[in-house]
Copies of this chain bind each other. A is one copy, B any other.
Amino acid sequence: MSPAMRRWAARRPTARHEAGSGSEAAPPRRPSVSRAYNFGAGPAALPEPVLAQAAAEMLDWRGSGMGVMEMSHRGREFGEIFSVAESRLRELLAVPATFKLLFMQGGAIAENAIVPMNLVDLRPGHVTEHVITGLWSIKTHQEARRYGEARIVASNAVEGPGNHTTLPVAATWRLGADASYVHVCSNETINGVEMHELPDLRALGSEAPLVVDCSSHIASRSIDWSRIGLAYAGAQKNIGPSGLTLVFVREDLLGHALPICPSAFDYATVAANGSMFNTPPTWSIYVAGLVFEWIAAQGGVAALERRNVEKAALLYGAIDGSDGFYANRVAAGCRSRMNVPFFLRDEALQAPFLAGAAERGLLQLKGHKSVGGLRASIYNAMPLEGVQALVAYMREFAGRHG
């Protein structure tokens, strides 16, 4: 038996969770001691009512005799799930009718190749322009080089701890006249910088469409579609399970895929087949639909945005008010509402900080390995109470060790 198998055996479901045990215990319906506050950067916490409903409908979706995972993607039942999810999301984000909404696979990292395969041929030079703001936009730039000339038009990279902690002012971007598109990542999870306004490329003298990787803050705030040609998002932060990618593409950009673009990733083909050219990730779409329903029940994206502003203000306030015990390095005005990295003045306290947090059910607070320190991701599904609990713990910890 391998060590992993041994750990597995030790983790066999407890009686409370035992499937087929005949026990009458339902999955927990309300916050319970067993649910932690999960500050992971993604895949990330989901709203508890979404999980509860997914569990309750697992074996029989609303009298259909089937669970959602068991449905034909072309059947009537899944057709309903799909079309309701799509129209809800369009409504929540006020997506204009000129945009196609595609449900795809592969996440943002696959999309880093799929976007150029679909759009680089918009202009003959096959030039793409990239604004570097952190690791994710760097990866996007590197991947685009497979398909054309990928230029860096601006960057926030510097030596030392200030690396990727600002945002290059749009007026300084060195935009050319020949680009097929300009790419930005509007929220970088690792250093925690967020574009609070998208650039107006026309005002900057560029005719190129703006392509936005908004994986890590989609649905946390409103989107100015007038500035966007294409936006994409891996689902696993604010939308649902990993394995689903949302692509919003302006219709006039369709139909330019390179001959080497796989059919399954040709936006025009995917759009013409209603995201069912290949079998879509049906379960992930179903859960995303439940999340959209939950967002609507919270009062929509505007209400969540207000809550996100409040949560972020509370957490940054605690950091900034700690007399340097904790520090966030990101320039004011560029700080992310979703991902809040912070550092302890005394690095030796990091391990005790994390251990004490875990004891209190405050999970996944370790920073990304490339920057170290701590990080709290406070996506839509993180309730204000979770941030309050974190802040209370931070104050208590600083009091003990300050």
Counting chain B CB atoms within 10 Å of each CB, the highest count among A11, A30, A75 belongs to: A11
A13 cross-chain contacts in B, Cβ below 8 A: 53, 56-57, 62
The 3 closest A-B pairs by CB, nearest first: A243-B281, A36-B65, A113-B262
Which residues of A (1-29) have their CB < 8 Å from a CB of B? 2, 4-5, 7-8, 11-14, 17-29
Task: Flag if A109 contacts B277 (CB, 8 Å).
Answer: yes
In the assembled complex, A40 has its CB within 8 A of some CB on chain B: yes
Task: Flag if B283 contacts A241 (CB, 8 Å).
Answer: yes
Size band of the A side of the interface?
A: 35 or more
Task: Flag if A109 contacts B278 (CB, 8 Å).
Answer: yes
Write the nearest CB–CB distance from A239 to chain B, whole angstroms: 11
A4 cross-chain contacts in B, Cβ below 8 A: 79-80, 83-84, 87
Write the nearest CB–CB distance from A242 to chain B, whole angstroms: 5
In the assembled complex, A73 has its CB within 8 A of some CB on chain B: yes
Considering the complex, give the chain B residue whose CB is closest to the CB of A244. B243
Task: Flag if B65 contacts A363 (CB, 8 Å).
Answer: yes
Cβ contacts A85-126/B at 8 Å (1 or 0 each): 001000000000000000001111110111001000000000
A89 to B273, CA, bound (A): 33
A28 to B58, CA, bound (A): 9
List 9 other contacts, CB 8 Å, given A146-B262, A243-B243.
Answer: A2-B87, A13-B62, A38-B65, A38-B66, A43-B71, A52-B58, A243-B280, A243-B281, A283-B283
Quick one: given A55-B27, A260-B260, A262-B114, are A363 and B66 in contact (CB under 8 Å)? yes
Quick one: given A4-B84, A59-B52, A282-B243, are A264 and B106 in contact (CB under 8 Å)? yes
Cβ contacts A326-364/B at 8 Å (1 or 0 each): 000000000000000000000000000000000001011
Please name 30 pairs of A and B residues whose Cβ atoms are closer than 8 Å in the assembled complex, sorted by A: A2-B83, A8-B80, A11-B80, A17-B57, A20-B49, A20-B53, A27-B55, A28-B60, A36-B64, A38-B66, A43-B69, A43-B72, A45-B70, A51-B69, A52-B59, A55-B56, A58-B58, A75-B364, A105-B105, A105-B281, A106-B265, A107-B278, A112-B263, A113-B264, A147-B260, A241-B281, A242-B283, A243-B281, A243-B283, A283-B284
